[in-house]
Structure 1
Amino acid sequence: MVVGDHGTMVVHNHLTPQTPLDVMAETLAAAVEEEWNKEAGLRRLKARVVDETPLPVRWEVSGRRVADRVAGATAEGVRDSFGPLPGLRVVTREQLLEGGGLNELYEVYGGLASGRILLVGREAAGKTAALVLLLLKAIEYRREAKPENQRRIPVPVLLPLEGWDPRKESALDWAATQIARRYRVRGPEEARQLLKERRVALFLDGLDEVVGKLRGAMVRALGSERVRMVVASRVDEAERTAQKMRLRGAVGLEIQPVKPEVAADYLLNQLPDPPPPAWHRLTSRLLHESDSAVAEALSSPLAIGLVRDVYREDDPVDELLDTARFPDSRTIEDHLLDHAVAAAYTPAYWDPRPRYSPETAERTLRFIAARLAQEGGGDLSWWHIPGWANPRPRAVVVGVVVGMVYGVVSALGLWRASGPLSACVAGPLLAVAAGGLAGRQVSLLAAPQPLPSAGWRDIFSPATLKIGVMCWLSVGLMNWFGPQFMDPPMPVWLDWLTALPFGFAATMASGPGYQLMVGGFLFGLGSGPWFNGMRQRLTRRTVTESRSIGPRDVWRHHGGLRLVLALVSGLAVALVFGCYMGWSHGLRNGVASALVAGLWATLFAGPVGNLTVATALTAVQLAFRERTPVRLMAFLDDAHHRNLLRVTGPVYQFRHARLQERLTQQE
C-alpha cells in the first residue's frame, strides 16, 4: 500500500519463458478440449439451448468391495501421494463420505492424496458421461488458472483401455503411444515425458470390457504408475476384479441412480405447461410409485434419454405404464432400444428429411453390430471394413482395371519408342503383371492391420529433410565426379536434376512416410532392422501440431495423403528413368520409359494399396450384398451426429453396449 502524495510504486514483471514441454502441454490441452466439447454436445451432456438442463451427476463412496479403504486414499505422507492442485484442499475422509455432484467430484479428483479414483456404477448408470464431464471440468479449471499454476495442473486425457496388453507394454508406454497417435503430439517419448512429470492425468474407460486375466493385469500395471488417474468400470466387474487385484490407493466412487423428481423435471422441461396427459401420467407414476417398473427403468440416464428420443410431444408415452407389456425395467429398456434407430431417422415436421430411411439405417446398424460381435470387440475401425466382404471380387475388378490401364498406356509408349513389335509383345505381359500384382495387393488389405498414418510435417520433418538433402548432394556429386558412362556425358544441371528423386526417396524412407508407401519404397531404401531403428530415432521429434480428428477425417486424410504422395513418387521415378533413357537413347525412349516406370509407381503406391480406396470399394460391395449405403463412411458420420454412435479417437463405437447387444440380437 502506498500512502501520501507523490508516492512511487515500482513494479517488476518477471516473464518465465515456456519450455517445449509447456508448449506441448498447452497444445494438448487445446486439442482435448476441442474434441470433448464437440463430443459432449453430440452426447447431450451439455446444454444445447438456453432452457435445456442436462442430467446431474451424483456419486457416493461405494459400499461394495471394489477398492481399498478410504483411509488409504486420503493418507498424507505416503510415497505415492499427490499434493492438491492449486486452489484446492486436501480431501478428507469426511468429505468423501458426504458424496456430492460434479463440483465435489472434481474436488476429490484434484485433492485426493493417492491421486486415484475408481469410478463405478451399474449398467447404463452414466459412468462414461460422468468421466467426460469431469474431464471438461478439469480442462476448464486448468484454462482459467493463473499461468504460473497451469504447469502444476495436469492435462486430462481420456483413453479406452481396449487393445492394451500389459504383459507386453507398460502402462506409461501404452498411454504415451496412444496420446502421440491420437493427438499427434510430437512423439511417444515426448508424451512419456509429460506423463512422467505428472503433466498429464489419465481418464481410462472400459475396464469392464476387458475379459479374462487381462483385467487384473491392467489393474496391477496401473497401480504401479505414479500418474493421477480416474478409471471407470461397471460395479460387478470391478468387484470381481478386486477379489484378486485392487487398484492400489484408489477410492471407489459409485455413480448413483437418477432421482425420480430429477427424471420427471428433465422429461417435462421441453414440454408445454401443462404437459400433455400421457406425459403427465408417466411423470406422476415416477413421482408417486418409486418402486414401479417404469421408475426403476428411468433411473438410468440412458433410458431417460431414450424416452426423450423415441416419444414426441403427442405420442402415447404412457404405454410404458402397461404392466402386461412391460412387467419389469428390462423390457422397458429393450423396447426403447428397439425404437431408438427409427426415432433418430424419423424427423419432426420442422426438421429436414434425413438422407437415409429408418429401414436402411436399422438394417445397416444391425449388420455392423453383428460384425463387431463376430470380431469380439466394440470398436468400429474403418480400416478393418475391407475384411467384411470377400476380397476376390474387388481384387478381380481392380486387377482388370489396372491391367487394362497400364497395358494400354505402356503399349502406346513402347509403340512410339520401339515400334509395334515390342508394343504387342511387352504390352500384354506388363498388363498381366500389373493386374496380377494389383489384385494380390487388394486381397492383402482385407486382413486386419494397424493404420499407418502421418501428417505432411511428420513426413517432411527437419530431420528427414536433412537426410534427403544429404542424399541428393551425395548422388549429385557421384553423378558429377563419377565415371561418365553415358555417351555423350550428361550436363551438370542434369546430373543434379536426376539426383533429386533419390533425395525424395531418402526423405520418405527415413521417416513416417515409409509406413504409407508399400513394399520397401520405390528405390529399395528403408528395408531391414537398421533402417527401422534409424526411422524410430529420426521420428522421435516430429513437428505436427497436436489435434485429434475423427474417423471420417482420418479416412479422408489417409486417402488424400496417399494419393498425393503416390503422384509425387510416380513423378520422381519417371524423372530418373526418363532423364537417363532420354539422354542415352533419345527423347522418345525417355518419354516411354518415364511413362511406364512412373505409372507403375503411381498405381502401386497410391490407389492399389490405399486403405481408403479399399474401404470405399468394400462399401459398394456391401451395398449389393447387404443393402447398406454405398457411402458407408458418410452414413457412419451421420449416425454419430444422431447420437447412435460415438467417437473415440479414430474409431466409432455404439452409443451404449446395450444398443449394440439389441441390434445384434435382431440381426
Structure 2
Amino acid sequence: MASEFGTVLRRLRVREGVTQEELERRSGVSVSTIRRMETGKHSNPRMTTVQKLADALALRPEDREELARAAVPGNQGGTRRDDEPTTEEPRTEEPRTEEPRTEEPAPEQHSSPTLAPSAPEPQSPDPLTDAAEQLAKAVAARWQREEEQRQIQDPYPLPVRWRLADEELIDHWANIRRLPPGATNDPLDLGGRLEHIAKLYRDIPSGRLVVLGRSGSGKTILTLRFVLDHLRTRAPEEPVPVIFSIGAWNPTTLTLRDWLTEQLMRDHPGTAARSPGRASLAAALVDSGRVLPVLDGFDEIADGLRRPALEALNATTLPLLLTSRPGEYAAAVDETDVLTAAAAVEVTDLTLDDLAAYLPRTTRKPNPANPAEGAWDPVLRTLRQLLLQQQSASDRPAPPLATVLTTPLMVSLARTIYSDTPDHTPADLLDSERFGTPEQLEDHLLDNFLPTVYRHRPRNGPHDCDPDRARRWLGHFAHHLSRQKTPDLAWWRLGNGLRRSTRTLVTALVTGLAIGLVDGAVSAAFNGRLTGAVVDGTLVGLLAGVMFGLVHWLTYTAKGKHVMPSAVRLQIRGRPRATVWTAGPRLVIGTLGGAMFGFAYGFFVGLVKSYAWTDTPTMLHIGLVDGLVYGLVFGAGTGLTFCLLGILETPLDLESAVSPRTLLNTNRTTVTTQLLVWAPTFGAVVGFGSGAVVELLDGPLGPLTWPSEAGVLMGVISGLGGALGYALTLTAWGQWLVLTRIWLPLTGRLPWAVVTFLEDAYQRGVLRQAGAVYQFRHARLQHHLAERHRRSGAAGHGLHGDFIAPP
C-alpha cells in the first residue's frame, strides 16, 4: 500500500508528465528509491530528498508545501489540521541534522505526539500485486526487445498520426466521459501522433479506445508503443497493458475473460500457478482488473464471428484498446452496435513531407559530387513534381508510387528492398510502364521482400537459405495460418494443418514403430533369439500403435482439441503445495485409463499367442484371463505413475522468459523428466505387480504360470514402451516430434531444422515474436504468401530441399 507521501509524489509526477527515469535524471535520486517511495516501502524521506524532488518537478509553492507535509510522519491526509501547532515547519526541518546517521529522525527529536513517528504496520504481501509487477517487467522487456528487433527507432519511428473516427463508429460522448445525466456532452480532443498515444488513452475516462486503420497503416506499431509508454509512466495500482492477438479468439466457445486467461498462461507460463483463491494467477489478474487488454487485429477474426465478438466485448466493462481495419469494424457495428463507452480514432496516411524527412536518412549516398543527396532524394523530387501536375489536371490519376507510399508497411518494404541493398535503385519505382497501378506496385514490393531479405545472411545469424525454398516454406506456414484462422504460428500446432485421419495414422505408426523396436531389442537382449524378438516386437508394436493411436484420437482428435504445451516442470526434491491437489484426480483417471488399456492389450495378446495351439473356447478364456491380469497390473501402474507425476509438478516461475524456443525446450525437458520418472515407476509396478496379481488370481482362475524372468521382461518393456507411448501421443513435444520434425519435413512441406528456420526468419524481419508464438511481421504479407501458395498449388513436393546451416 502506498504511503501518503508516495501518493502525493506520484500524483504530482504524473501531473507534470515526468517518468520515474526522467525524475532520476533531474533530481539525482535513484529510480529505485523513487519507486520505493511511491509504493510505500520508503515513507519517511529526508527533507533534502524532498527538496530535490520538488525542484526537479518545478512545483508551485502550494504543491511544495503539500509534498513537505506528506513527508512528515503523523500528518494524515497531507493537510494541516486546525489544532496543529504553528511550529510545524521547524519540526519538518529537524531531520536534516540526522542525515549522516540515519534516514529517519530519531524518536526523541519529536516531542509532540502529533509528529512522533509510528512504526509501520506490517503489511502481508499481496501475491496478485507482486504478480502484476513481475508481469509488467516481463512485458516491458519483451516489447523493448521486439522494438529493437524491428528497427523502429532506426533512424526514428515513422510519424503515425490519427484523427477522430466517423461519428457513427463512436459511442455517446456522455458514456465515454462517464458523465451523470444532464451534464455537458462535449467531444474530447483526440487528435495526436505516435508519441502521444499513452497520454491520449489516459485522457479517456472510460478507458476504452478503438484504433482504426487500413492494412499496413501502423496499428501494430502503435500498440507496441502504447504498451511501452504506458508501462514507463504506470503507477503501481494501474493495470498492466498486455497485447493479445484477438484474431485467434472464438467468442462462441470462450468468454473474453477465459480467453485472456488462456493467452496469458500461454505467453507467461508462471501465471498458471495457483492464486490464494485456488484459481490461477492469470485468472485472478484478469478478474481483478490488473490486466489492460490491448486487443490487436479485430479484423482478423473470422467473418461470422465478428458480430458475436463485438457483443461479447460489450458484455464486459473491461478497459481496453482495440485495433481493426475500418471496414470490418464498421460492418460489425452495422450488425450490432458500437463498442460501448469507446472512443474511436483512425490512423491517417503518411504525407510526402513525411517521406522526404524519413527515406533519405535510410539509404546510402551514391553521388560523390553531392554527398548530402541520397538515392531517394531525386525520386521524391520527381514525385513532388508529378503530384503538382496531377493537382493542376483533375482528371489525371495520382502516381502509383505516391498512392502506395502512404502506409508504414509499404514504406518499410520499399526501404528494405531499395535502401538497404546497393543493387537496387529507387528510381525504378517511378516506371509507369511496369507499375501502371498501385496494386501492381504493391505486389512488386511484396514479391521482392523475401528474395531481398534472404539474399544475405541476417545480422545476428550464420545461416543461409535459398529464397525459393524459403518462399515455399513460408507460404506453407501462411497457408496453414489461413486454414487455422489464426495469426499465431505456434510450434505445437504446426501438425494440425494435416487432416485428422492423417495425424492419427502418423501418430499410431511412429508410436508403434518406436515401441516395437524397443520391445524387439529388449526381447533379443533377454532371450538371445532374434526370430522370437522380431515376432514379439512386431506384435507388440502393432497393438501398441493401434491402442495409443486410439487413445490419441479419443483424447484430442475426435474432440477437436489441441495438445497444449505443459506450463509446469518436475521438481524431484520437495512437494510443491500448489499442485499436490492434482494427484488424487490423476490417480483415479490413470487407474481407469490404464485398466481399460491393459485389459484390451492383454485380451488381444492372449488371443494371438494362443491361436496356433488351442481351440476357440480356450482362446477366449486365455484372452479374458490375460486381459484381467494386464488390466489390474496396468491400471495400478498407470494410476500410481500419474499420481507421482502430479505430485512432482510445479508451475513455472513468473520470471520465466518465454519465447517459442524456450517454451519448446522447457517442454522437452519436462517430457524427458517424465520419461525418467514414468519408465522406472511404471516398469517396477508392472514387473513386481504382475507376479502378485498372478498369485492372487491363481486360485479363482485356475492354475496360472508366470515365471519371474517374464515379470522382469514385462516390466522393462512396459516401462520403456509405456513412457514412449505417453510422450509421443499425449504431450505437445511428442506431437511436435512426430508430425513437425519427422512427417512434414519427410513429405517436403517443411525444412528439417524447423526451429532454426523460424528463428532465422525472425532475425531477417519476416516474422515477429508475440510471446510463445511467432506471427508474420505484417498480416498483409501473410495473406499475400498464402494466396500465392494456393495459386501455385505448392503442397510441399520435393523431398530434398532443406535449410542450409553452414559450419
Which category describes the TM-score, using the shorter chain as reference length? 0.7 to 0.9
How many Å separate the matches in 1 of 2:215 and 2:95? Answer: 70
Change (3 A) 1:580 1:78: farther
Structure 1 residue 342, shift from structure 2 partner = 0.8
Is 1:197 the equivalent of 2:288? yes
Deviation per CA, 1:614-654: give whole Å up to 9, x if none.
Answer: 43444444334336421122212211222212233333322
Aligned match for 1:430, one of 537, 540, 562: 540
Change (3 A) 1:471 1:265: closer
Are the aligned partners of 1:548 and 1:649 in contact in 2 as well (CA < 8 Å)? no
Task: Report the counterpart of residue 208 of structure 2 in structure 1.
Answer: 116
* SS of residue matched to 2:152: coil
Counterpart amino acid of residue 288 in structure 2: E
Change (3 A) 1:338 1:347: same
Counterpart amino acid of residue 562 in structure 2: P
Are the aligned partners of 2:298 and 2:324 in contact in 1 as well (CA < 8 Å)? yes
Task: Report the counterpart of residue 702 of structure 2 in structure 1.
Answer: none
Instruction: Give the TM-score of the pair, scaled to structure 1.
Output: 0.77
Is 1:325 the equivalent of 2:434? yes
How many Å separate the matches in 1 of 2:225 and 2:728? Answer: 42
How many Å separate the matches in 2 of 1:225 and 1:104? Answer: 27
Change (3 A) 1:78 1:599: farther
Is 1:340 the equivalent of 2:449? yes
* SS of residue matched to 1:269: helix
Deviation per CA, 1:399-457: give whole Å up to 9, x if none.
Answer: 334313213313544x38xx999979866543442354456668888786323333445
Equivalence map 1:434-453=2 (5 Å): 434-437=544-547, 449-453=561-565
Structure 1 residue 502, shift from structure 2 partner = 6.8
Is 1:296 the equivalent of 2:387? no
Task: Report the counterpart of residue 208 of structure 1 in structure 2.
Answer: 299
Task: Report the counterpart of residue 149 of structure 2 in structure 1.
Answer: 42
Are the aligned partners of 1:220 and 1:246 in contact in 2 as well (CA < 8 Å)? no
Task: Report the counterpart of residue 146 of structure 1 in structure 2.
Answer: none
How many Å separate the matches in 1 of 2:708 and 2:435? Answer: 82
Equivalence map 1:510-525=2 (5 Å): none
Deviation per CA, 1:353-377: give whole Å up to 9, x if none.
Answer: 6431212111211222233334444
Greater CA drift, 105-114 or 188-197: 188-197
Counterpart amino acid of residue 244 in structure 2: L
| Structure with more relative contact order (C-alpha pairs < 8 Å, separation 6 or more) | 1
Aligned match for 1:640, one of 750, 762, 770: 762
Equivalence map 1:116-515=2 (5 Å): 116-142=208-234, 149-151=235-237, 153-184=238-269, 185=271, 186=273, 189-243=280-334, 244-272=336-364, 274=371, 278-290=375-387, 291-311=398-418, 312-347=421-456, 354-389=463-498, 390-391=502-503, 392=505, 395-396=508-509, 398-410=511-523, 412-413=525-526, 415=527, 429-437=539-547, 449-456=561-568, 461-465=576-580, 505-509=642-646
* SS of residue matched to 1:55: coil
Structure 1 residue 388, shift from structure 2 partner = 4.0
Are the aligned partners of 1:67 and 1:242 in contact in 2 as well (CA < 8 Å)? no
How many Å separate the matches in 2 of 1:324 and 1:467? Answer: 69
Aligned match for 1:572, one of 681, 693, 698: 681
Are the aligned partners of 2:519 and 2:533 in contact in 1 as well (CA < 8 Å)? no
Structure 1 residue 248, shift from structure 2 partner = 0.9
Structure 1 residue 395, shift from structure 2 partner = 4.5
Change (3 A) 1:661 1:275: farther
Instruction: Give the TM-score of the pair, scaled to structure 2.
Output: 0.65
How many Å separate the matches in 2 of 1:420 and 1:278? Answer: 74
Deviation per CA, 1:533-575: give whole Å up to 9, x if none.
Answer: xxxxxx9xx5732546223333332233223202211111123
Deviation per CA, 1:278-302: give whole Å up to 9, x if none.
Answer: 4222222454545432122111000
Change (3 A) 1:115 1:597: same
How many Å separate the matches in 1 of 2:748 and 2:373? Answer: 41
Structure 1 residue 603, shift from structure 2 partner = 1.6
How many Å separate the matches in 1 of 2:309 and 2:728? Answer: 40
Change (3 A) 1:438 1:277: same
Counterpart amino acid of residue 255 in structure 1: V
Change (3 A) 1:169 1:209: same
Change (3 A) 1:114 1:625: same
* SS of residue matched to 2:747: helix
Counterpart amino acid of residue 147 in structure 2: A
Are the aligned partners of 2:728 and 2:738 in contact in 1 as well (CA < 8 Å)? no
Aligned match for 1:54, one of 157, 171, 179: 157
Task: Report the counterpart of residue 592 of structure 1 in structure 2.
Answer: 713
How many Å separate the matches in 2 of 1:354 and 1:171? Answer: 41
Change (3 A) 1:604 1:20: same
Name the Cα RMSD after superposition: 3.9
Structure 1 residue 28, shift from structure 2 partner = 1.3
How many Å separate the matches in 2 of 1:470 and 1:169? Answer: 25
* SS of residue matched to 1:53: coil
Structure 1 residue 246, shift from structure 2 partner = 0.6
Change (3 A) 1:548 1:61: farther
Counterpart amino acid of residue 253 in structure 1: V
Deviation per CA, 1:322-381: give whole Å up to 9, x if none.
Answer: 122212322222111001111111127999764312121112112222333344443333
Structure 1 residue 57, shift from structure 2 partner = 2.6
Counting matched residue pairs gives 588
Task: Report the counterpart of residue 784 of structure 2 in structure 1.
Answer: 662
- Which 5+ residue runs of structure 2 have no aligned equivalent? 1-88, 99-103, 106-116, 366-370, 388-397, 588-635, 696-705, 790-807
How many Å separate the matches in 2 of 1:371 and 1:467? Answer: 35
Deviation per CA, 1:117-158: give whole Å up to 9, x if none.
Answer: 01111221111110111011111112xxxxxx412x110011
Are the aligned partners of 1:32 and 1:157 in contact in 2 as well (CA < 8 Å)? yes
How many Å separate the matches in 1 of 2:579 and 2:164? Answer: 53
Counterpart amino acid of residue 313 in structure 2: L
- Percent sequence identity over matched residues? 27
How many Å separate the matches in 1 of 2:265 and 2:254? Answer: 15
Are the aligned partners of 1:644 and 1:654 in contact in 2 as well (CA < 8 Å)? yes
Change (3 A) 1:646 1:428: closer
Change (3 A) 1:351 1:265: farther
Greater CA drift, 379-388 or 214-223: 379-388
Greater CA drift, 310-319 or 420-429: 420-429
Task: Report the counterpart of residue 169 of structure 2 in structure 1.
Answer: 66
Structure 1 residue 382, shift from structure 2 partner = 2.5
Equivalence map 1:537-552=2 (5 Å): 544-545=653-654, 547=656, 549-552=658-661
Change (3 A) 1:446 1:621: farther
* SS of residue matched to 2:424: coil
How many Å separate the matches in 1 of 2:95 and 2:144? Answer: 51
Change (3 A) 1:190 1:109: same
Structure 1 residue 469, shift from structure 2 partner = 11
Are the aligned partners of 1:257 and 1:299 in contact in 2 as well (CA < 8 Å)? yes
Greater CA drift, 436-445 or 636-645: 436-445
* SS of residue matched to 1:636: helix
Q: Which has the larger radius of gyration?
A: 2
* SS of residue matched to 1:219: helix
Is 1:625 the equivalent of 2:713? no
